[in-house]
Structure 1
Amino acid sequence: MSQPPITPVTTPPPDKGGDDMATLAKGGRTNTLGFILRLLGGLPFLFVGFRLYGVDEMGRFAAAFVVIEIFALICALGEKRGLAQRLTEGIETDEDTPANLVFDAMLVSLVVSGLACLLLITFPAIIFPNGTGSDFDMWMIAAIPAFALTEILLAAQAYRYDIATTVRARAVVEPWVKSIGITAFFFIPALAGGGIALAFLAAIYAALLTALYSFLRTYGLPKAWRPRPRYLSKMTSRALPLIGADVIERGTRLLDVFLLGQFTSAGTVGIYWFAKEVVSLPQKLKTSFEPILAPVITKNLKTGNMDAIASQVRQVGFWIIALQAGIALTLAIPGEAVMGLGGPEIVGGTGALAILLAAEVIASMAVVSESVLVYIARKRNLAISVGVITLQGTLSVGFILLVQHWGYPEGFQAAGAAAALFVALGVASLVKSLVLKTLLKAPVSNWRWPLVWAAAPAVIVGFIFTEFTPEWVEIIIGGPAIFAAYFWVIWKYGFDEADKVLFRKNVAPIDSDLNASN
């Protein structure tokens, strides 16, 4: 079979501010569509998992998954955002081929992943606090190196402005393999007990192969590459602040599940995990722009164009919060019907669902601010993140124990963990945006009053559907109607011409405050 052509790798040409925003819009649009596909592909996994395997088994899986993802992020060495800077520096100094630089990261990642796997095998209580459900569950640990390598490969593709590979790997291949696998394994008697773990493992490795195929087409194989211990040590040391930022940023979304696993039953974790997975779409919207935002920011930092960076933060921040608010209303208003998809015992997590959706909206400013702070104030950003996750952990344990002391049911314990996350993310958004505003000497806020105006008709439409229609109508017709009412108002009164570039496939560079400094 003939080999696929190798696309030559060159440094992206310098753009003007309007070109930057068009690039960000295209990447964000592609990734946003991808995460919608991911939600649709992941829903069968949730539905089948909770219906066939039960709340307790899915709760055990959730507790294990959060530990795996945290370890995988550590093993990815912060390359999700750091690789763009290393590639830019390496190409400009002609020290290495891009493929060699990526392989450097992959080698260190494999070594660290091996150590992480050994640790979890030795101390399985870390990953399975409520015990395992089958002999296959321990195999989930093998997902760590694949997860980490996929992050590095996708970061390399993002540097070439290839977001489509991320969509294919994370939004199509991974969720659909997982959903198909959990159904298929259930009907194989010898594998049925480990269906959740095996489906998860198959999905992670399928995503890795998808990313690797695209990487080899774009970069090719390394040339005259060999391990360089001194350089690799320096690279790892330099990556520590980025690793900390990545782990803590993601950890704020996973710590609540981990703590619930330590202080409550597997059933409570299962209820909360269902709500968290429903919230995954608005949550992923924030990260939709991260892969494409990194090379744009590093380019403007190199030229010292702080005004352009502030404009990009304001613009992207508004895009994210506007879309998140609409999706949050769409899912929260018919919340009981949405949670009921997992079974009657899941409905008790409706309050947690509503709080989690609100938390993701308020967190948008923190994530966009951090995408710049990791480059211009790494240690300060890390210190803030450490403070935020400490606050969240303290509040989570306090709220959970308080609810248990008062004798409230499992759903209230889940809501307590969600409330702690809401407070922590709100603090993070406030502090990080203020720090970024000071450093850039320009406003960075993404808030606009039309967000409130657009919510009003959405709430009215939602009230009509929840009060006067059955649950299946609430979801199938009511949900889209709520979003349509919201989006019509935000489009008409909230979006200006610069904002509308997000929804246009063919767009020329725009002239606005986004490129005023050019």
Structure 2
Amino acid sequence: MSSAETNAGAGAIDGRTTEEIDALAKGGRTNIIGFVMRLVARLPFLFIAGRLYGPDTLGTFARAVLFVEVASLLATFGLKRGLALAIAESDRPHVQIVWDCLVVAAIASGFASAILLLLPDLMYHGSAPTLLERLLPCIIVAGAWSDIMLAALAYRRNIQATVTARAIIEPWTISIAAGLLYPIARHDGLVIAYMLSMVAALLASFVPFVRSYGAPAGWRLHIGRTVALIRRNAPLAGADALEWGTRNVDRSILFLMFEPRIVGIYWMAQQVASIPGKLKTSFDPILGPVITSSLARGDTASVASQVRQVGFWILAAQTGLALMGSIPGEAVMGTVGPQFVAGTAALAFLLLAEAAASTGAVCESALVYIARVQNMAISIGMLLFQVGLSYALIYAMQALGWPVAYQAAGPAAALFVSVTLTSVIKSNYLARLLRARVAGWRLPMLWAILAAGAVGAAFTALPPEYEWVELAIGEPAIAVVYLFVLYRLAFKPEDRALFRRMPDGVTLPAVGLRASSEGHG
């Protein structure tokens, strides 16, 4: 590489990339606030679901929601991440392109809903669903449309709408509804509460979307354009489906191998562990446009810097949350009900898996744009590996006569191994493509983990009657020690962008692959 090229690259990194990192930090700060709000709002639902409805009802509910979630994800057809690219590559008004995407989602949702309405036994195997439970698939379109509208708002740098819809409206609606419905609808209260939360989230997405984009004046349904959009986003849809499958195939295996009570206990552990995972997905709308902008100008060094930076932020946060949730795991699971303590081992593996998966998930944010087929091949291979390992662990523990609670943790352990290997493979592959390091891991994180682990071990050594101390004092102590060591030893100047206020003029740089002449409304 010539000296001129080197200097040019350095300028890009020192100038534009610094601006982009600041933009990511600004969006990340909003998302972290949203995460905390989501955590506060989600805990009441978990407590209500565990204490009132119990693991048997939760197991049936978890199976039904599993099908709705995957259908809603597939119905978006990868457009949560592909929307920025679709807008950037067209000179049409933004609102018309978004409505093209909404039509695709509506068609896919209609097909999925029809199948599940005609075959309710897929969702409620072995149980007799009520009329309202049978209508659960009708809510699929609400989740898909909400995701696309929020992605459209994120393209215009409105992350607050996502925080409001996903961290406030949705979790508080399901929490309040589940509590109020329990005395009058114990059998289907959770399903009704879930449907109400999806409708509320859709309304919370629709209102700011209309305010920002307005009515789709002059828009007409165009079959050829719709088909082209579906074809273009098929790889992204496949990547989304595979990522979802990686995180939920364990639940599917449990449905086949264990009774609903065991599934309900595992689902509760999964819900607790999945909260940290929202940190990564909340960065998608802001990270995708920045990556596509850097790729458009051929600045692979900037892409590597963005992936590495966001990867560190997410990995550091999820590792801290994994320590807080897994070290006093019995106390955490016991909070939602004593019968859920059996899910402690599963919780530990699931929390570790969320942290281990973060690097691969962030790398995928770039791979889906520059190596879609290869990324999908890696995901398919690792998903098959995870399924095989899950069954192998379950059968091995059954042969050894281990308790059912340990057998049920087998899929969680397989998930941890699988996502760890996936992160290693995808980060190394992306690093080779970009010719720069992309992994967010830093050695000083190890000292923070060891320090926090020592503090946590001291609290868990207390007698059982002091379990409340583990939660009331031990949890904050683990967090404080971990963050203190991390901040002192692992943080760099660019990391501190998360904690400083940006000037009002700092926004996302060029969003998408090509500047659009349309205003931001």
Q: Same fold (TM over 0.5)?
A: yes
Aligned with 2:188: secondary structure? helix
Q: For residues 384-412 of structure 1, what are the alpha-carbon distances to aligned partners after superposition, in whole Å with 9 as ceiling and x for unaligned? A: 11111111122222222333343433321
User: What is the alpha-carbon distance in structure 2 between the residues aligned to residue 183 and residue 139 of structure 1?
Assistant: 21
Q: Does 1:260 align with 2:288?
A: no
The counterpart of 1:102, out of the listed 94, 98, 104, is 98
Counterpart for residue 279 of structure 1: 273
Q: Residues 154-193 of structure 1 correspond to what in structure 2 (within 5 A)?
A: 154-187=150-183, 189=184, 191-193=185-187
Q: 8 Å contact 2:146–2:202 — kept in the other structure?
A: yes
Q: Does 1:348 align with 2:348?
A: no
Q: 8 Å contact 1:129–1:262 — kept in the other structure?
A: no
Counterpart for residue 227 of structure 2: 233
Shift of 1:134: 4.0
Shift of 1:127: 1.9
TM-score (norm 1): 0.92
User: What is the alpha-carbon distance in structure 2 between the residues aligned to residue 240 and residue 44 of structure 1?
Assistant: 38
Q: 8 Å contact 1:36–1:281 — kept in the other structure?
A: no
Counterpart for residue 6 of structure 2: none
Counterpart for residue 128 of structure 1: 124
Counterpart for residue 18 of structure 2: 18
User: What is the alpha-carbon distance in structure 1 between the residues aligned to residue 424 and residue 43 of structure 2?
Assistant: 33
Q: 8 Å contact 2:22–2:502 — kept in the other structure?
A: no
The counterpart of 2:191, out of the listed 179, 188, 197, is 197
Q: Does 1:502 align with 2:498?
A: yes
Residue type at the aligned position of 1:51: R
Q: 8 Å contact 2:57–2:187 — kept in the other structure?
A: no
User: What is the alpha-carbon distance in structure 2 between the residues aligned to residue 230 and residue 502 of structure 1?
Assistant: 44
Q: Does 1:478 align with 2:474?
A: yes
Counterpart for residue 83 of structure 2: 83
Aligned with 2:409: secondary structure? helix
Residue type at the aligned position of 2:119: F
Aligned with 1:454: secondary structure? helix
Larger mean CA deviation between 169-178 and 18-27 belongs to: 18-27
Q: 8 Å contact 2:26–2:502 — kept in the other structure?
A: no
Aligned with 1:162: secondary structure? coil
Counterpart for residue 114 of structure 1: 110
Shift of 1:485: 0.5
Q: For residues 73-108 of structure 1, what are the alpha-carbon distances to aligned partners after superposition, in whole Å with 9 as ceiling and x for unaligned? A: 110010110001011112xxx2x1101000011112
Residue type at the aligned position of 1:115: F
Q: Residues 447-486 of structure 1 correspond to what in structure 2 (within 5 A)?
A: 447-468=441-462, 470-486=466-482
Identity percentage of aligned residues: 44
User: What is the alpha-carbon distance in structure 1 between the residues aligned to residue 505 and residue 369 of structure 2?
Assistant: 26
Q: Does 1:334 align with 2:321?
A: no
Question: Which consecutive residues of structure 1, in runs of 5 or more, have no partner in the other structure?
Answer: 1-14, 511-518
Q: Does 1:70 align with 2:64?
A: no
Aligned with 1:497: secondary structure? coil
User: What is the alpha-carbon distance in structure 2 between the residues aligned to residue 472 and residue 162 of structure 1?
Assistant: 40
Q: 8 Å contact 2:153–2:161 — kept in the other structure?
A: yes
Query: How big is the alpha-carbon RMSD for the aligned residues of Structure 1 and Structure 2?
Result: 1.6
User: What is the alpha-carbon distance in structure 2 between the residues aligned to residue 130 and residue 474 of structure 1?
Assistant: 40
User: What is the alpha-carbon distance in structure 2 between the residues aligned to residue 405 and residue 214 of structure 1?
Assistant: 56
Q: 8 Å contact 1:279–1:353 — kept in the other structure?
A: yes
Counterpart for residue 270 of structure 1: 264
Aligned with 2:137: secondary structure? helix
Q: 8 Å contact 2:322–2:352 — kept in the other structure?
A: yes
Residue type at the aligned position of 1:24: L
Q: 8 Å contact 1:139–1:197 — kept in the other structure?
A: no
Q: For residues 12-36 of structure 1, what are the alpha-carbon distances to aligned partners after superposition, in whole Å with 9 as ceiling and x for unaligned? A: xxx8211111111111111122122
Shift of 1:342: 2.1
Counterpart for residue 425 of structure 1: 419
User: What is the alpha-carbon distance in structure 2 between the residues aligned to residue 41 and residue 132 of structure 1?
Assistant: 31
Question: Which consecutive residues of structure 2, in runs of 5 or more, have no partner in the other structure?
Answer: 1-14, 507-521
Q: Does 1:243 align with 2:237?
A: yes
User: What is the alpha-carbon distance in structure 2 between the residues aligned to residue 476 and residue 381 of structure 1?
Assistant: 43
Q: Does 1:35 align with 2:35?
A: yes
Residue type at the aligned position of 1:346: F
Residue type at the aligned position of 1:487: L
User: What is the alpha-carbon distance in structure 1 between the residues aligned to residue 251 and residue 235 of structure 2?
Assistant: 24
Distance of aligned partners of 1:62 and 1:216 in 2 relative to their CA distance in 1, 3 Å threshold: same
Aligned residues: 490
Counterpart for residue 10 of structure 2: none
User: What is the alpha-carbon distance in structure 2 between the residues aligned to residue 122 and residue 403 of structure 1?
Assistant: 38
The counterpart of 1:304, out of the listed 298, 319, 331, is 298
Q: 8 Å contact 2:288–2:365 — kept in the other structure?
A: yes
Q: For residues 358-384 of structure 1, what are the alpha-carbon distances to aligned partners after superposition, in whole Å with 9 as ceiling and x for unaligned? A: 111111110110000001111111111
User: What is the alpha-carbon distance in structure 1 between the residues aligned to residue 398 and residue 247 of structure 2?
Assistant: 22
Counterpart for residue 8 of structure 1: none
User: What is the alpha-carbon distance in structure 1 between the residues aligned to residue 130 and residue 317 of structure 2?
Assistant: 40
Larger mean CA deviation between 394-403 and 470-479 belongs to: 394-403
The counterpart of 2:385, out of the listed 383, 387, 391, is 391
Q: Does 1:367 align with 2:361?
A: yes
User: What is the alpha-carbon distance in structure 1 between the residues aligned to residue 198 and residue 399 of structure 2?
Assistant: 40
Aligned with 1:372: secondary structure? helix
TM-score (norm 2): 0.91
User: What is the alpha-carbon distance in structure 1 between the residues aligned to residue 288 and residue 377 of structure 2?
Assistant: 21
Shift of 1:245: 0.3
